[in-house]
Amino acid sequence: MTMERALLSVRDLNVFLQSDDGPLHVVRNVSFDLSRGETLVTVGESGCGKSMTARALMRLLPETGDVPETSRILCLGRDVMRLSEREMQSVRGQEMAMIFQDPSSSLNPTLTVGDQVEESLRLHTPLPKAERRGRALEMLRAVGLSNPELRMNQYPHELSGGMRQRVLIAGALICTPRILLADEPTTALDVTTQADILDLIRDLQRRFDLAVLLITHDLGVAAEAGDRIQVMYAGEIVESAPKRELFRAPAHPYTRALLRSVPRPGEGARLQALAGTPPTLKLSQGGVRCPFAPRCDSGMPICARAAPPEFHVPSAGGGEHRVRCWLRHPQGPEGVEGRNGLS
Per residue in 59-69, pLDDT (tens digit) is: 999 999 999 99
- Amino acid 201 reads I
Report the pLDDT value the prediction gives residue 284, as an integer from 0 to 100: 59
**Virtual torsion, Cα 79, 85, 86, 90, nearest 10 deg:** 50
Distances (CA, A) of 149 to 113, 133, 145: 10, 10, 10
Report the pLDDT value the prediction gives residue 3, as an integer from 0 to 100: 47
Domain ranges of the chain: 8-226, 244-262+282-343
Q: How far apart are CA 324 and CA 306, in angstroms?
A: 12
Q: How does the average pLDDT of the chain come out, rounded?
A: 90
**Virtual torsion, Cα 293, 50, 242, 68, nearest 10 deg:** -90
pLDDT at 182 over 70: yes
Per residue in 114-147, pLDDT (tens digit) is: 999 999 999 899 999 999 999 999 999 999 999 9
pTM of the shown model: 0.91
Q: Which of 31-45, 230-244, 270-284, 299-313 has the lowest mean pLDDT?
A: 270-284
CB atoms < 10 A from the CB of 207, how many?
11
> In the structure, what pLDDT confidence band is assigned to residue 2 with cuts at 50, 70 and 90?
very low
Mean pLDDT within 23-50: 94
- Amino acid 49 reads G
Judge contact between 342 and 326, C-beta under 8 A. Answer: yes
Mean pLDDT within 155-180: 93
117 three-state secondary structure: helix
- Amino acid 123 reads L
Q: How far apart are CA 128 and CA 131, in angstroms?
A: 6
Name the CATH topology of 8-226.
Rossmann fold (3.40.50)
